[in-house]
A and B are shown apart, each in its own frame.
Chain A
Amino acid sequence: MTSLLKADRPSSLPRWRAGALLSPLPLLAFAVVALVASPLVFVVMQALQAGWDQASRLLGRPVIATLIWNTVTLAAAVTLATAVIGFTAAYLLERTDLPGRRSWTVLLALPLAVPEFVRGYSWVSLYPSVHGYWGAVLVMTCSLYPLVLLPVAATLRRSDTGAEEVARSLGHGPWATLWRVTLPLTRPALAGGALLVSLYLLGEYGAFAMLRYTTFATAIFTEYKLGFDAASASLLTLVLVVLALLLVGLDARAGRRGRVVRTGVGHRATRAQLGRWKLPAALALAAVVAVSLGVPVYALAYWLLKGSSTTLPSASVLGSALTTLGYAASAALVSTLAAVPVALYAWRRDSRLARAAERAAYLTRALPGIAVALAVVFFAIRYAQPLYQQPPMLVTGYVILFFPLALTAVRAALAQVPPGVEEAARSLGTRPLAVLARVTLPLVLPGLGAGAAMVTLTASTELTATLLLRPTGTQTLATQFWVYTSGLAYGAAAPYAALMVLLSVPPVLLLTRRSLDPTPTPETDR
């Protein structure tokens, strides 16, 4: 027993080596962040080249004021509507005794699986009178309210009802408690959800084009398609980026107030008794589901059954599907692999530098898809002409667009790794690279797979950037759908739309489950 430690010890410690000054991980992480953030830099550079005269001439046009008015009023209305619907539904799901809450949660989250342009198509093809401002409000509200619902429901689920019970015991009625305690409790989640909604609105092209409503994004697209002018399109894009960053700043201010203080985990929430309000509440949720999920499903079924009567050349759904999955999967692979060093660096080191790197990587989430796509286009034309309209360009665009999604997934996977295992492995005499291979990667591999799958499916329904970046002659599901609907061949477009909706269902279910998972993972619900 006493020889347990002393036996076969080497004569002396190995000779030491000088500590590495710069380890490869931070370098790699910063390189990735720089690449991903480059479109932002590039848009600014392009816009600067336009010069002051051209800038003031372009931005002084009355059409710009109209565009800003259109974009801002729409964003305000939709954000408000989604906040009301999202919060009410989340409250009903998490704080009341409404029957069938599990099914309601899934049904209310599923509208996320209908891409905005498919939703626009289902309304326009059934009711041609849906268009313009109110059409846009209707379609976008139906599409985006789950982005508020999920984070708010997650916050409500994770915080126990202690504060609300105390408010009741201090003499506040149920409504006063809701207004003064529950609502402030969810403020960061509400603000985050509202931010996502408005960012989506800034970047959306397909749905607005279909509803004949002009916003910044559609104007940029038209500008680009009509007369190719990099500088003026860049200027417009820059305005869009500034709007987006303004929103992010607003959110940071709103989110800072009302931090959630987590008291005891596993403290079951006591649910409010709905009583005679049970039926009206259920009916209200049913109405939301009917409008947001029922209408697209009905439209798709209607056009699928009616069949494709089109004069346009028929293409194979299977072929487009394979092309789409090929591009999307390549992008998913690249973005997931690129996210590993950034996530690993931020996970290992809680330093200011590491946090800054991660935040910079998430910043591209604030960039409207059309801005990213145009940045990639301009970059290719200027510096990498041979790549213009080649497959790598589309993949690059997807990688930059969906990098934050991949990063979120990798971070979530790393969050499952118990802290200290890497250090324990090092103390057992394992070199850093071997630690990565023997401990860290085996632990996160399933999470990486799930993340890559999520990026693949999300990228398969991308329209705006694909229209701009796709190689000549290549049709993905989204672009083929776009070709048919632009020619009013609604029946021919239906199979593509249905396939895209089906492909989107798994990521939405995954997102729902991960958001509402009782153990919070960083950045999942934002």
Chain B
Amino acid sequence: MTGLAITDLYAAHGRTPILDGVDLAVPDGALACVLGPSGCGKSTLLRVIAGFHPAQRGEVALGGTVLDDGRRRLPAERRRIGYVPQDGALFPHLSVAANIGFGLPRAQRRDRVAELLDLIGLPGLGERHPHQLSGGQQQRVALARALAPRPELLLLDEPFAALDAALRTELRAEVAQTLRAAGATAVLVTHDQDEALSFADTIAVMRGGRIVQQAAPQVLYGEPADAAVARFLGEANIVPAELAGRRADTAFGSLALTGDAGAARPGPVLLRPRQLRLSSVPGPGRVRALVQRCHFRGSDHRVELLAQDTERLPSPLVAYTDRPWPEGEAYVEVAGLAHPVSS
């Protein structure tokens, strides 16, 4: 079993191209996340995998079986792919139990529905109707309904977007745990980087109908392929540098790199706000800067700085610090590795 394998996939809405050569691989049992801004084509990608939208060319394969190659396609109902849309799309005329049992043969319904109601933590609510459930409960039922026929793959299209912030975080962790417990292979689509970073084993960043980078969350955050990916996953200081081998020469002095940059060349490096350390005294490798603004955010402070004595730093520099900094001078140094990004 090779999980989901998508190679060089193209799809369009009418004459507007949407997917422009997508490559994506999700191993069996992995939770993958497709992350991208709205309009990048991620929902269309999901709909092509599910069989609701035709591919123009390329190939979608699941467990070694080709689902769609642009000429012939397996109908959605025969793909064994579960689908949880944004608002759950529960059948409003059926009870919770009938919703969950919809895709099951009659004989198996009773036991399997009870099992799933337990799994999603709603035992005893089987006779309710969808309109009697809260938003979070509806999403859990939608998940159970998709899991019931034991699909080979589960697709989730921004399933938490309609919920409020606190519930979203809670349900997200719960769903991830449920899916891992069930050993499911799943693809989640979202535009929310926090959701992607906390949910997935592997994240594919999508932009303009292509996957720009696919990697594990930590790798993606620390070592993004380019400046845009870096900014999309969180605030980023993109600092000009001269790269050579495993070192970069910057305004902060010579910094160690995350990898080998090869022959000497100019190119920016990424420094996350947490990597910038502030102190009140000058020292080697420290850059004098003016604190422009310090802004309390609950867990930390976000400090905007204007570097002095150098033209080689972007303005403002952003640092996250544990204690507040008064407006005035501060000295900035770098901790940890710099990551070269193509701009």
Interface stretch (choices B79-87, B164-172, B203-211) = B79-87
Q: Does A276 interact with chain B (Cβ within 8 Å)?
A: no
CB-CB < 8 A to B74: which residues of A? 13-14, 16-17
Contact in complex: A2, B102 (CB < 8 Å): no
Q: Does A429 interact with chain B (Cβ within 8 Å)?
A: yes
- Distance A37 CA – B82 CA, assembled complex (angstroms): 42
Interface stretch (choices A4-12, A281-289, A475-483, A517-525) = A4-12
Query: 1/0 per residue B195-217: CB within 8 Å of A?
Result: 00000000000000000000000
Contact in complex: A13, B79 (CB < 8 Å): yes
- Please give me the residue from chain A that is nearest to B74 by CB atom: A16
Once A and B bind, how many residue pairs between them come within 8 Å at the CB atom? 125
Assess A19 versus B50: contact at CB under 8 Å? Given A423-B89, A428-B103.
Answer: no
Q: Does A132 interact with chain B (Cβ within 8 Å)?
A: no
Contact in complex: A439, B91 (CB < 8 Å): yes
Assess A13 versus B78: contact at CB under 8 Å? Given A7-B150, A418-B90, A428-B103.
Answer: yes
- Distance A16 CA – B66 CA, assembled complex (angstroms): 9
- Distance A19 CA – B81 CA, assembled complex (angstroms): 18
**Residue tally, chain A, CB below 8 Å to B:** 35
Contact in complex: B51, A13 (CB < 8 Å): no
- Distance A427 CA – B187 CA, assembled complex (angstroms): 15
Q: Does B298 interact with chain A (Cβ within 8 Å)?
A: no
Interface centre among B73, B84, B91, B103 (most CB of A within 10 A): B91
Q: Does B18 interact with chain A (Cβ within 8 Å)?
A: no
Query: Within residues 419 to 447 of chain A, which ones have a CB less than 8 A from any CB in chain B?
Result: 419-421, 423-432, 438-439, 442-443
Task: Give B338 Cβ to nearest chain A Cβ, in Å.
Answer: 42
Contact in complex: A419, B89 (CB < 8 Å): yes
CB-CB < 8 A to A424: which residues of B? 83-85, 89, 91, 142, 145-146
- Please give me the residue from chain B that is nearest to A428 by CB atom: B103
Query: Within residues 69 to 108 of chain B, which ones have a CB less than 8 A from any CB in chain A?
Result: 72-87, 89-93, 102-103
CB-CB < 8 A to A14: which residues of B? 74, 78
CB-CB < 8 A to A2: which residues of B? 181-183
Query: 1/0 per residue A451-489: CB within 8 Å of B?
Result: 000000000000000000000000000000000000000
Q: Does B14 interact with chain A (Cβ within 8 Å)?
A: yes
CB-CB < 8 A to A5: which residues of B? 147, 150-151, 182-184
CB-CB < 8 A to B79: which residues of A? 13, 427
CB-CB < 8 A to A19: which residues of B? 54, 72-73, 75
Q: Does B123 interact with chain A (Cβ within 8 Å)?
A: no
Contact in complex: A4, B147 (CB < 8 Å): yes
Contact in complex: B85, A420 (CB < 8 Å): yes
Q: Does B258 interact with chain A (Cβ within 8 Å)?
A: no
Contact in complex: A18, B102 (CB < 8 Å): no
Partner of B63, one of A7, A13, A351: A13
- Please give me the residue from chain A that is nearest to B78 by CB atom: A14
CB-CB < 8 A to B146: which residues of A? 424, 427-428
Closest CB pairs A-B (n = 5) = A428-B103, A420-B89, A427-B83, A420-B85, A16-B74
Residues in chain A within 8 A of chain B (CB atoms):
1-2, 4-9, 12-14, 16-19, 351-352, 418-421, 423-432, 438-439, 442-443
Sample 29 A-B pairs with CB under 8 A, ordered by A number.
A2-B181, A4-B147, A4-B150, A5-B182, A8-B150, A13-B65, A13-B152, A14-B74, A14-B78, A16-B66, A16-B78, A17-B75, A418-B89, A418-B92, A420-B86, A423-B50, A423-B52, A424-B85, A425-B102, A426-B75, A426-B77, A427-B146, A428-B82, A428-B102, A428-B149, A429-B80, A431-B75, A431-B77, A438-B102
